[in-house]
Chain A
Amino acid sequence: MTPMTTLVRAELFKLRTTRLTYGLLATAAGLTILFSVLEASRAGTKAGGIAPLYTASGLDSVITGGTWALLLAAILGVTVSSGEFRHSTATLTYLATPHRSRVLGAKAIAAAAAGVVFGLVGYLIAAGVGLIFVAAHGYHLAVGDATLARYGAGHLAAAALLAAVGVAVGSLVRSQLAAIIGVFVWTIVIESLIGGLFKSVQPYLPYTAATTLAGSSLGGAAFGPAHDAATSATALPFAAAAGLLIGIAAVLSLLAARITVPRDVS
């Protein structure tokens, strides 16, 4: 039986030789730059509604731009699994590795590794924009090194786990387009709606939890009524948010494995 490390290496090789990987990474970088610069230039102005950059809250808003990398990492995960069905490559993949749950596991690990890169890129850009604007204004940095490091670690962990969740979702849905649209609608529309309507549930919503893990305020990365709404709920602590995402990734992966294994591939 082909060792798991070989399967993961093969999946990583596939990711490196796929243009889509670089396209998604570039999109993540572009959206992060756009939103971070937008937030940074509006911070502290009357119209912006964003706290000045010499406050921790203002800097948070800028670093929240990095959460686009988390979303794109989830999309990458979706393409890793659903791409097999979109391009009918599942046949060759399963001929090489008839144990389909091993294929799924290798994909989740490889996507998570790629997710780490996405998270890193998103964080470096968002934090970089924040620090440049702070320096340009001549402000003192409102957060310590430890906090910045925690935001960085949060970006990496959240992007890796969301990529693994994406693999499971792509495997369950199979239609690449439907899965990608589903992820966008879930993260941007549904979580924003539920988060806005039911404040007590908001910290537990998976994408929201991922963004708070990466350092955003609760609802900071959301749109509409859920965006930074006055709320009595607080974001989950770092370990709890990470645990929640690990749990979701595990449950969806097991479900995907159960459903994928007996399915006919034609």
Chain B
Amino acid sequence: MPLIEVHGLTKRFGKVLAVDRLSFTVEAGTVVGFLGPNGAGKTTTLRMLLGLVRPDAGRATINGKAYRDLPEPLHQVGAVLEASSFYPGRTARSHLRVQALLSQSDPSRVDDVLELTGLTGAAGRRIGGFSLGMRQRLGLATALLADPEVLILDEPTNGLDPDGVRWLRDLLRGLAAEGQTVLVSSHLLAEVAQTVDSAVILDHGRLIAQASLAELTAGEHNLEDAFLKLTKETAR
């Protein structure tokens, strides 16, 4: 059974059809890129998968269950959705302590993930003073805290400097090597091509392709060319 299963997912915001009968799967132990131009419906899809946005039709499950029915959601899914969603007056450490409490994780995990994301030195500082890159790191620390089965990352390279991008790539590769399942959305294809096993490509809320990296780039120079060709075809 696939770890993530999206079937016929549809969401309309007013007149805009954000996601249109989208179906795809993510197998355990794979790193899957979730690709599409800005406004393709990536974030809306991820938010529906995580129970934050209600689909108009279709279903999205993790381990066969809707997110809200997961017995211990933070142990099954670690998600990084946007860079600024922390209370600015709280320190990084006390933010993580709240999360550890909520996920009933061992408090020692707080120091582990601070270390892993390179935030140990900033742990006592208020998040309000963090750069975008530090927030992304804190988002990842939050997601990794309960040692989840699957990581869901929405545009994780946003706001990262070249150092940060390299750090993230190494982190994802390390996690992939350990067999971690990752679904990572991005509009930066060159970056994603270096980390993913396969990709789900969508445009205008519709699935354009789901295939391994090798299949996608067959006959094309690289993923970017394949992507542009695929999205152009649907635009016609």
Chain A interfacial positions (CB closer than 8 Å to B): 1-2, 6-7, 9-10, 13-14, 17-20, 83, 87-89, 91-92, 94-99, 262, 264-266
Contacts and interface: CB of A to CB of B under 8 A. Distances in A.
Given A264-B52, A265-B52, A2 B99 contact: no
Contacts of A96: 73-74, 99, 102-103
A18 B53 contact: no
Contacts, number: 82
Given A89-B85, A89-B87, A264-B52, A17 B73 contact: no
Contacts of B84: 88
Most buried by A among B68, B73, B97, B102: B102
B187 interface: no
A17 B142 contact: no
Contact of B101 (A9, A18, A20): A9
A2 B43 CA distance: 27
Interface residues of B, number: 36
Nearest to B85: A88
B53 A14 contact: no
B54 A10 contact: no
Contacts of A13: 94, 97-98, 101
Given A1-B71, A92-B85, 6 more contacts: A14-B90, A89-B87, A95-B73, A95-B79, A265-B47, A265-B52
B50 interface: yes
B51 A94 contact: yes
Interface in B149-186: none
B110 to A, nearest CB: 13
A6 B101 contact: yes
Q: Which 3 A-B pairs have the closest CB atoms?
A: A98-B68, A96-B102, A88-B85
Contacts of B71: 1
Contacts of A95: 50, 52, 73-74, 77, 79
